Amino acid sequence: ILKGGTVRIPLASAVPLRPEQLEVIVPPGWRAALERDGAGGLVCSVAAPAETDAREGRIRIRTRPDAPAAAELTLNLPVLGAIGITLLAEPDGGLCAAFRNNGAEPARIDWVFELLGTCPMREGSYRLQEPNPPETFLRGEREGRATIQPGETHRARVTLDGFHPLSLYSVRVTGTDADGRAVSRTRYAGGFAAAPRMDAAPVIDGAADESCWRRATTQFIDLPEQVFRFRRTDAPWQGPDDLSASWRAAWDEEALYLFVSVTDDVLRTPHADSRIWDQDGLQLLIDPCRTAAEKTGKIDLAVSDTPEGSRAWCYLSAHPSVATGPVAVQVAARSSANRRDVELAIPWKLLAPFQPEPGANLGLALILNEDDGNGRVGFNGWFSGVHSKQLDLVGDLILR
């Protein structure tokens, strides 16, 4: 529903109902009415105020005591301004602001991008409350003006000049309409990893011998700043031969594919089922709503060897259709000396409500849990937040 707009909601019922047998509960300042439509059904009209900071309006439609049946319907309506802004990350340090005209008349928009600060990776995490001054600057359409027709979208792009692949950047874009009303979107962006689209699904066999893997950009977990220890007294990281990895991503309509090549001098995997996070293995924190101002949830997924073979376990789900517990992730691994290559196929249905398409932006942190024989002491990661479940600490994986 648009701010100041009205939406008509058709209602169907197996039991005939009159408008006076229903009541509609709306947020303060909103209005609602019930009437019959021309076909004998019912329509609920809901009007939102023109001035509101709400991002969502909850509408409850329920039967009154004298109705022949008892029922209740809850609808959560996203509240849109006349101009909507989506801020997307793009590969190689790019950012795209998509300005959409949600109204019925042409709209003029003036925009400006701002780089608010930089958060470098330190000891395997980020101190968002202690940002550094911007270490780079924005190139491209940092400021501009466009007239957008009803229902259409205008895109403006900038790039972070010389961005660091492990830093998080706080970026804000503000759009102002002809009446001086401003809308802003602020988000963290980092990593800017790209996942190419596959022409055919790979064979999940622990070998990256398909052509798509050669087209995928390689990311690395091999630097001191990527090491997190729960206690300073725990065994320190001894370098890439102790624990490190490279990884790549690809996708098709069915799944997200990851290939992770891990070097670990001591591989210890004594646990099974829900305890696989507490040993050597992979763990992912995924934001399926990276561009949304309001998050529906987060996904916490671990993959590890167990005494019964490779297993995947979901600890947090972002959608009611996805249950926590063991999940159907295809896993295959190959080992040689201290190296272990792990190939994964994660069905998109496990990453709901994310919708895969070229340009879509998935938030991702990937860590290597570490246990050299005295219990899990920490992890090495590509971005962070898995331990704290904090989505602001993840990087960006962009489908292309």
User: For 91-103, what is the HEC assignment?
Assistant: CCCEEEEEEEECC
Burial class (CB in 10 A: 0-12, 13-18, 19+), 297: middle
Cβ-contact 281, 303 below 8 angstroms:
yes
254-267 mean pLDDT: 96
What does the alpha-carbon distance between residue 301 and residue 313 come to, in Å, rounded to a whole number?
Answer: 6
pLDDT at 370: 95
Cβ-contact 250, 212 below 8 angstroms:
yes
Q: Are strands 193-195 and 395-399 parallel, antiparallel or unpaired?
A: parallel
**Residue 39's pLDDT band (cuts 50, 70, 90):** confident
pLDDT at 12: 87
Give the model confidence (pLDDT) of 191-228 as tens digits.
Answer: 999 999 998 899 999 999 888 898 899 999 999 999 99
Q: Over 80: is that where the pLDDT of 140 sits?
A: yes
Lowest mean pLDDT among 21-30, 177-186, 317-326, 371-380: 177-186
Q: Are strands 325-326 and 309-316 parallel, antiparallel or unpaired?
A: antiparallel
Give CA separation, 391 vs 92, 111, 250, 320, in Å.
21, 27, 22, 19
Give CA separation, 329 vs 125, 189, 284, 345, in Å.
27, 27, 13, 6
pLDDT at 342: 96
Q: Over 90: is that where the pLDDT of 53 sits?
A: no
Is the model more confident about 131 or about 293?
A: 131
**Residue 14's pLDDT band (cuts 50, 70, 90):** confident
Residue-wise burial string across 156-173, b where 16 or more C-beta atoms lie within 10 A, e elsewhere: bbbbbeebbbbbbbbbeb
Cβ-contact 396, 359 below 8 angstroms:
no
pLDDT at 27: 94
Structure tokens at 118: 């930089």
Q: Average pLDDT, whole number, for the chain?
A: 93
% residues pLDDT > 90 (the chain): 79
116-143 mean pLDDT: 94
Q: Over 80: is that where the pLDDT of 20 sits?
A: yes
Is the model more confident about 349 or about 232?
A: 349
Most confident of 14-18, 224-228, 268-272: 224-228
- Integer-rounded Cα radius of gyration of the chain: 25
What's the angle, vertex CA 3, arms to CA 78 and CA 61, rounded to 5?
55
pLDDT at 233: 82
% residues pLDDT > 70 (the chain): 100
352-363 mean pLDDT: 96
pLDDT at 361: 94
Q: Which residues pair with 399 in a beta bridge?
A: 195
Which ranges in the chain belong to alpha helices (H)? 211-215
Cβ-contact 311, 304 below 8 angstroms:
yes
Give the model confidence (pLDDT) of 233-242 as tens digits.
Answer: 888 999 999 9
Local structure of 7: helix, strand or coil:
strand
pLDDT at 48: 93
pLDDT at 277: 95
94-118 mean pLDDT: 93
pLDDT at 397: 98
pTM for the full predicted model: 0.84
pLDDT at 337: 85
Give the model confidence (pLDDT) of 309-354 as tens digits.
Answer: 899 999 999 999 999 999 999 999 999 889 999 999 999 999 999 9
pLDDT at 134: 85
Give the model confidence (pLDDT) of 290-308 as tens digits.
Answer: 988 778 899 999 999 998 8
pLDDT at 4: 85
